[in-house]
A and B are shown apart, each in its own frame.
Chain A
Amino acid sequence: MDSLIIFLVLLALGFVFGKLAESRHYRSIQAREEMLVRLPATSCKKPMGNSTPISHAELVHGHVVISVDYFKQILAGLRNLFGGTIQAYETLLDRARREAVLRLKESCPTANEILNLRIETSSISKGGGDRIGSVEVLAYGTAIYYQQASSQHSRS
Protein backbone atom coordinates (compact mmCIF):
# COMPACT_ATOMS: atom_id res chain seq x y z
CA MET A 1 0.00 0.00 0.00
CA ASP A 2 2.81 2.38 0.96
CA SER A 3 4.67 1.76 -2.25
CA LEU A 4 1.50 2.42 -4.23
CA ILE A 5 1.11 5.80 -2.50
CA ILE A 6 4.74 6.69 -3.20
CA PHE A 7 4.28 5.67 -6.82
CA LEU A 8 1.17 7.83 -7.20
CA VAL A 9 2.83 10.81 -5.51
CA LEU A 10 5.84 10.53 -7.83
CA LEU A 11 3.50 10.22 -10.79
CA ALA A 12 1.60 13.36 -9.78
CA LEU A 13 4.81 15.30 -9.10
CA GLY A 14 6.19 14.27 -12.45
CA PHE A 15 3.00 15.21 -14.23
CA VAL A 16 2.69 18.68 -12.69
CA PHE A 17 6.35 19.75 -12.66
CA GLY A 18 7.15 18.06 -15.95
CA LYS A 19 4.35 19.91 -17.72
CA LEU A 20 5.39 23.22 -16.16
CA ALA A 21 9.03 22.72 -17.03
CA GLU A 22 8.22 21.73 -20.59
CA SER A 23 5.98 24.69 -21.37
CA ARG A 24 8.45 27.09 -19.75
CA HIS A 25 11.26 25.62 -21.78
CA TYR A 26 9.30 25.88 -25.04
CA ARG A 27 8.51 29.54 -24.32
CA SER A 28 12.17 30.37 -23.70
CA ILE A 29 13.24 28.42 -26.82
CA GLN A 30 10.78 30.31 -28.98
CA ALA A 31 11.78 33.71 -27.62
CA ARG A 32 15.48 33.03 -28.13
CA GLU A 33 14.97 31.55 -31.59
CA GLU A 34 13.29 34.77 -32.65
CA MET A 35 16.22 36.79 -31.34
CA LEU A 36 18.77 34.67 -33.20
CA VAL A 37 16.88 34.35 -36.46
CA ARG A 38 19.41 36.61 -38.25
CA LEU A 39 22.20 34.07 -37.68
CA PRO A 40 21.50 31.22 -40.08
CA ALA A 41 22.90 27.76 -39.51
CA THR A 42 23.19 25.43 -42.49
CA SER A 43 24.42 21.93 -43.08
CA CYS A 44 26.21 23.05 -46.25
CA LYS A 45 29.96 23.34 -46.40
CA LYS A 46 30.09 26.58 -48.38
CA PRO A 47 28.55 29.94 -47.45
CA MET A 48 25.21 30.43 -49.18
CA GLY A 49 24.71 32.81 -52.04
CA ASN A 50 27.27 35.53 -51.45
CA SER A 51 30.96 35.81 -52.05
CA THR A 52 31.91 38.28 -49.33
CA PRO A 53 35.49 37.60 -48.26
CA ILE A 54 35.72 35.75 -44.98
CA SER A 55 37.94 37.21 -42.28
CA HIS A 56 38.07 34.23 -39.99
CA ALA A 57 36.37 31.00 -38.97
CA GLU A 58 36.18 29.00 -35.77
CA LEU A 59 34.74 25.80 -34.39
CA VAL A 60 31.74 26.37 -32.13
CA HIS A 61 29.67 23.92 -30.14
CA GLY A 62 26.72 23.80 -27.81
CA HIS A 63 25.25 20.96 -25.81
CA VAL A 64 22.58 20.12 -23.28
CA VAL A 65 21.53 17.17 -21.12
CA ILE A 66 17.80 16.87 -20.56
CA SER A 67 15.89 14.22 -18.67
CA VAL A 68 12.28 13.09 -18.90
CA ASP A 69 9.98 13.30 -15.91
CA TYR A 70 8.61 10.30 -14.03
CA PHE A 71 5.12 10.54 -15.50
CA LYS A 72 6.40 10.42 -19.05
CA GLN A 73 8.67 7.50 -18.27
CA ILE A 74 5.68 5.49 -17.06
CA LEU A 75 3.63 6.62 -20.04
CA ALA A 76 6.38 5.55 -22.41
CA GLY A 77 6.65 2.23 -20.61
CA LEU A 78 2.95 1.62 -21.23
CA ARG A 79 3.34 2.66 -24.85
CA ASN A 80 5.99 -0.01 -25.23
CA LEU A 81 3.33 -2.65 -24.71
CA PHE A 82 1.22 -1.53 -27.65
CA GLY A 83 3.78 0.06 -29.94
CA GLY A 84 3.32 3.32 -31.79
CA THR A 85 4.86 6.75 -31.48
CA ILE A 86 5.99 7.85 -28.04
CA GLN A 87 5.15 11.53 -28.05
CA ALA A 88 6.70 12.10 -24.64
CA TYR A 89 10.13 11.31 -26.03
CA GLU A 90 9.57 13.15 -29.28
CA THR A 91 9.07 16.45 -27.47
CA LEU A 92 12.03 15.70 -25.21
CA LEU A 93 14.38 15.24 -28.16
CA ASP A 94 12.92 18.21 -30.00
CA ARG A 95 13.55 20.45 -27.01
CA ALA A 96 17.06 19.12 -26.51
CA ARG A 97 18.04 19.66 -30.15
CA ARG A 98 16.67 23.16 -30.38
CA GLU A 99 18.30 24.09 -27.08
CA ALA A 100 21.68 22.74 -28.22
CA VAL A 101 21.53 24.73 -31.47
CA LEU A 102 20.53 27.85 -29.54
CA ARG A 103 23.46 27.48 -27.18
CA LEU A 104 25.77 27.06 -30.13
CA LYS A 105 24.47 30.29 -31.64
CA GLU A 106 24.65 32.12 -28.32
CA SER A 107 28.32 31.19 -28.00
CA CYS A 108 29.14 33.23 -31.14
CA PRO A 109 26.59 36.08 -31.35
CA THR A 110 28.69 38.20 -33.72
CA ALA A 111 29.17 35.49 -36.36
CA ASN A 112 27.54 35.87 -39.77
CA GLU A 113 26.75 32.29 -40.60
CA ILE A 114 27.28 28.79 -39.25
CA LEU A 115 28.41 26.15 -41.73
CA ASN A 116 28.27 22.39 -41.61
CA LEU A 117 26.09 22.15 -38.53
CA ARG A 118 26.07 18.63 -37.13
CA ILE A 119 23.81 17.35 -34.41
CA GLU A 120 24.64 14.29 -32.39
CA THR A 121 22.49 12.54 -29.83
CA SER A 122 23.55 10.08 -27.17
CA SER A 123 21.84 8.67 -24.12
CA ILE A 124 24.18 9.04 -21.20
CA SER A 125 22.47 7.17 -18.40
CA LYS A 126 21.87 3.72 -19.68
CA GLY A 127 22.63 0.93 -17.29
CA GLY A 128 20.18 2.28 -14.72
CA GLY A 129 17.85 -0.68 -14.93
CA ASP A 130 14.72 0.10 -16.92
CA ARG A 131 15.15 3.86 -16.63
CA ILE A 132 15.82 5.48 -19.95
CA GLY A 133 16.57 8.70 -18.15
CA SER A 134 18.31 11.42 -20.04
CA VAL A 135 19.70 12.32 -23.44
CA GLU A 136 22.64 14.47 -24.40
CA VAL A 137 22.51 16.46 -27.62
CA LEU A 138 25.64 18.06 -29.03
CA ALA A 139 25.52 20.54 -31.90
CA TYR A 140 28.72 21.70 -33.56
CA GLY A 141 29.65 23.69 -36.61
CA THR A 142 32.00 26.27 -38.08
CA ALA A 143 31.14 29.92 -37.45
CA ILE A 144 32.33 32.31 -40.14
CA TYR A 145 32.80 36.08 -39.95
CA TYR A 146 32.67 38.21 -43.10
CA GLN A 147 35.32 40.87 -43.51
CA GLN A 148 33.38 44.10 -43.79
CA ALA A 149 30.04 42.77 -42.67
CA SER A 150 31.32 42.52 -39.11
CA SER A 151 31.63 46.31 -38.86
CA GLN A 152 28.15 46.75 -40.33
CA HIS A 153 26.84 44.35 -37.78
CA SER A 154 28.29 46.18 -34.77
CA ARG A 155 26.50 49.34 -35.90
CA SER A 156 23.08 47.74 -36.16
Chain B
Amino acid sequence: MFVSNIEDIPGKTIKTCYGIVSGSTVRAKHVGRDIFASIKNIFGGELKGYTELLGESRDEALGRMKNQAQQLGANAIVNVRFSTSSVAAGAAEIYVYGTAVTVE
Protein backbone atom coordinates (compact mmCIF):
# COMPACT_ATOMS: atom_id res chain seq x y z
CA MET B 1 0.00 0.00 0.00
CA PHE B 2 1.49 3.32 -1.11
CA VAL B 3 0.51 6.31 0.98
CA SER B 4 1.43 9.94 0.35
CA ASN B 5 0.15 13.37 1.24
CA ILE B 6 0.59 14.88 -2.23
CA GLU B 7 -1.80 14.55 -5.13
CA ASP B 8 0.01 11.60 -6.69
CA ILE B 9 2.52 8.90 -5.86
CA PRO B 10 5.87 10.17 -7.21
CA GLY B 11 7.14 7.85 -9.91
CA LYS B 12 3.76 6.19 -10.49
CA THR B 13 0.64 7.00 -12.49
CA ILE B 14 -2.91 6.93 -11.19
CA LYS B 15 -5.30 4.61 -13.05
CA THR B 16 -8.59 4.60 -11.15
CA CYS B 17 -10.04 6.59 -8.30
CA TYR B 18 -12.30 5.13 -5.60
CA GLY B 19 -13.16 8.24 -3.58
CA ILE B 20 -12.57 9.16 0.04
CA VAL B 21 -11.40 6.67 2.63
CA SER B 22 -10.97 7.54 6.28
CA GLY B 23 -10.14 6.12 9.68
CA SER B 24 -10.62 7.49 13.15
CA THR B 25 -10.08 6.58 16.78
CA VAL B 26 -11.18 8.21 20.00
CA ARG B 27 -8.87 7.45 22.88
CA ALA B 28 -8.93 8.44 26.52
CA LYS B 29 -5.85 8.81 28.63
CA HIS B 30 -5.82 6.49 31.59
CA VAL B 31 -5.68 7.78 35.15
CA GLY B 32 -2.09 6.77 35.85
CA ARG B 33 -0.87 8.73 32.88
CA ASP B 34 -3.06 11.67 33.86
CA ILE B 35 -1.59 11.84 37.34
CA PHE B 36 1.93 11.51 36.00
CA ALA B 37 1.23 14.21 33.45
CA SER B 38 -0.05 16.64 36.06
CA ILE B 39 3.14 16.14 38.06
CA LYS B 40 5.16 16.68 34.91
CA ASN B 41 3.19 19.89 34.37
CA ILE B 42 5.05 21.42 37.32
CA PHE B 43 8.50 20.75 35.88
CA GLY B 44 7.71 21.12 32.19
CA GLY B 45 9.12 18.96 29.43
CA GLU B 46 7.87 16.19 27.21
CA LEU B 47 4.90 14.10 28.32
CA LYS B 48 6.10 10.72 27.03
CA GLY B 49 2.90 8.93 28.06
CA TYR B 50 0.76 11.19 25.91
CA THR B 51 3.22 11.07 23.03
CA GLU B 52 3.00 7.28 23.02
CA LEU B 53 -0.76 7.29 23.37
CA LEU B 54 -1.27 9.64 20.42
CA GLY B 55 1.25 7.67 18.37
CA GLU B 56 -0.64 4.44 18.97
CA SER B 57 -3.98 5.98 18.10
CA ARG B 58 -2.58 7.58 14.96
CA ASP B 59 -1.19 4.22 13.81
CA GLU B 60 -4.57 2.63 14.50
CA ALA B 61 -6.43 5.30 12.52
CA LEU B 62 -3.98 4.86 9.63
CA GLY B 63 -4.50 1.09 9.79
CA ARG B 64 -8.27 1.47 9.60
CA MET B 65 -7.97 3.79 6.62
CA LYS B 66 -5.68 1.33 4.83
CA ASN B 67 -8.11 -1.55 5.54
CA GLN B 68 -10.94 0.43 4.02
CA ALA B 69 -8.87 1.16 0.93
CA GLN B 70 -7.93 -2.50 0.62
CA GLN B 71 -11.58 -3.54 0.75
CA LEU B 72 -12.30 -1.20 -2.14
CA GLY B 73 -9.51 -2.83 -4.11
CA ALA B 74 -7.19 0.17 -4.14
CA ASN B 75 -3.43 -0.13 -3.82
CA ALA B 76 -2.58 3.44 -2.84
CA ILE B 77 -3.92 6.40 -0.89
CA VAL B 78 -3.05 9.95 -1.97
CA ASN B 79 -3.51 13.37 -0.43
CA VAL B 80 -3.72 12.09 3.14
CA ARG B 81 -4.60 14.61 5.88
CA PHE B 82 -4.51 14.24 9.65
CA SER B 83 -6.66 16.07 12.11
CA THR B 84 -6.83 15.98 15.89
CA SER B 85 -9.61 17.31 18.04
CA SER B 86 -10.41 16.98 21.72
CA VAL B 87 -14.03 15.85 21.93
CA ALA B 88 -14.19 15.88 25.72
CA ALA B 89 -11.81 16.67 28.55
CA GLY B 90 -9.33 13.81 28.62
CA ALA B 91 -10.19 12.26 25.27
CA ALA B 92 -8.80 12.98 21.83
CA GLU B 93 -10.09 12.05 18.41
CA ILE B 94 -7.60 11.30 15.67
CA TYR B 95 -9.02 11.40 12.18
CA VAL B 96 -7.14 10.46 9.00
CA TYR B 97 -8.57 10.76 5.52
CA GLY B 98 -7.39 10.49 1.94
CA THR B 99 -8.34 9.43 -1.58
CA ALA B 100 -8.07 5.75 -2.50
CA VAL B 101 -6.63 5.09 -5.97
CA THR B 102 -4.95 2.37 -8.00
CA VAL B 103 -1.49 3.20 -9.32
CA GLU B 104 0.85 1.53 -11.76
For chain A residues 34-78, which have a beta carbon within 8 Å of chain B?
Answer: 45, 47, 53-59, 61, 63-70, 72-73
Which A residues are in CB contact (< 8 Å) with B72? Answer: none
Q: What is the total of A-B residue contacts with beta carbons within 8 Å?
A: 129
Q: With contacts A120-B83, A138-B82 known, is A65 near B46, CB below 8 A? A: yes
For chain A residues 110-133, which have a beta carbon within 8 Å of chain B?
Answer: 115-116, 118, 120, 122-128, 131, 133
A127 to B81, CA, bound (A): 26
- A and B contact pairs by CB, cutoff 8 A, 23 listed: A17-B42, A55-B11, A59-B4, A61-B82, A66-B44, A67-B45, A67-B47, A69-B44, A70-B41, A99-B46, A116-B6, A118-B5, A120-B83, A122-B86, A122-B92, A124-B50, A125-B37, A125-B90, A126-B86, A134-B41, A136-B54, A140-B5, A140-B82
Q: Which residues of A contact B (CB under 8 A)?
A: 10, 13-14, 17-18, 21-22, 25, 45, 47, 53-59, 61, 63-70, 72-73, 99, 115-116, 118, 120, 122-128, 131, 133-134, 136, 138, 140-142, 144
